[in-house]
Amino acid sequence: MTNRNKKFAFDTMKLLIDFYPDAKCELDANNPFQMLVAVALSAQCTDARVNMTTPALFSKYPNAADLAKADIKDVENLIHSCGFYKNKAKNIVSAGIKVSNDFNGELPHDLNLLMTIPGVGRKTANVIMLEVFDDAQGIAVDTHVKRISKRIGFTNEDTPEKVEQDLLKLFPREFWKKINHVLIFHGRRTCSAKNPKCAECPIKDRCRYNQKTSSKN
């Protein structure tokens, strides 16, 4: 990774950070375990839909101990609108059991231990480390982060793990939390998967995708 590539990436990300000064996690939660559940429910579902669903779920099952004792069918009914509800219900109830039994009801401040919780992969664990503990141990790569990183030219990789490794090499640790928030905001508001608003993009002159599409027109 050359210094020139790092400077390009740094300057590009700084433009996005300045363009989205209020970028933050948009999931609602009242405690760390609720954040874990909300992140789990957000898989292939919008944050807005999750935030419409979780008030009833968290009112009935506000913590790990309560969810550990929940009836799966009841949880399925409560989260039905989030999609993949059977698998998600199984995972979050199992997560409640795991956190209650092995971690005394509290999420562990450890990336690897978080990944021992049912339904928690590296992306979710990274989000929890960021949002709950304010301790960036990596960069959470979701569909927005992956798509935009490839479009800009931060990476040519296809798997979240390899995309993350490229981003970690490009950016200093103090950027890691901002990267996730800003690229998700950019993906939702400007750089959508279909019909991105390239004309409104603050980094259109630096974007590999825009250069390619512009040359075809």
Catalytic residues: 123, 142
Whole-angstrom distance, CA of residue 38 vs CA of residue 31? 11
List alpha helices for 20-137, DSSP H.
32-41, 47-60, 64-68, 72-79, 85-102, 111-114, 122-131
Whole-angstrom distance, CA of residue 47 vs CA of residue 136? 21
Whole-angstrom distance, CA of residue 205 vs CA of residue 214? 10
| CA angle 155–22–4, rounded 5-degree value | 30
Whole-angstrom distance, CA of residue 113 vs CA of residue 95? 12
Identity of the residue numbered 188? R
Spatial contact of 182 and 20, defined as CB atoms under 8 Å apart: yes
| Measured torsion, CA atoms of residues 93, 96, 44, 183, in degrees rounded to the nearest 10 | 180
Kindly list the distances between the CA atom of residue 15 and the CA atoms of 6, 11, 12, 142, 179, in Å, as whole numbers in the listed order. Answer: 14, 6, 5, 21, 12
The SS3 assignment for 138 reads: coil
The encoded tokens of residue 82 equal 């989030």
